Amino acid sequence: MPAHIILVEDEEELNDILHYNLTRAGYEVTQVWDGQKALQALQEKAPDLLLLDVMLPGVNGWEICRWLSAQPDLKQVPVIIFTAKSGREDFDQAREFNVAGFFTKPYATMDVVRHVEKVLSARSAKASDEGPPP
């Protein structure tokens, strides 16, 4: 069963390019274009990974991270952040949450795909080491 990724990016072209490349890499990808729809998608089906833009219409990426970290069944979902800002405050904010990667726009799509593979492989290995719940 392929890993499920929720991709939250309001720039349609970036969303489509990432969706195309992640799907080709074998992942199941749910595309979302705003913060409110992201919250709905997270409640409908827990992802294995969340790709999240910071600056979104409605609910921003940091608010989504805050909400996610308060959900017992979702707080362990790794998050890869996308942002057009590269200020120190964004990096500091990322440390507060389960951020597994941070990409400043513009970024190379294949760098994101490789990082996704790395994060999901590490998560899979950790789950194997822990074994099934008692």
Q: For residues 92 and 86, is the Cβ–Cβ distance under 8 A? A: no
* Band of residue 132 on the pLDDT scale cut at 50, 70, 90: low
Residue-averaged pLDDT of the chain:
91
CB 62 within 8 Å of CB 50: no
Task: Write the CATH number for 100.
Answer: 3.40.50.2300
pLDDT at 43 over 90: yes
pLDDT tier for residue 19 given thresholds of 50, 70 and 90: very high
Percent of the chain beyond pLDDT 70? 92
How many domains in the chain?
1
Q: What's the pTM?
A: 0.91
**Residue span of the structural domain in which 123 resides:** 4-130
- Mean pLDDT within 17-31: 98
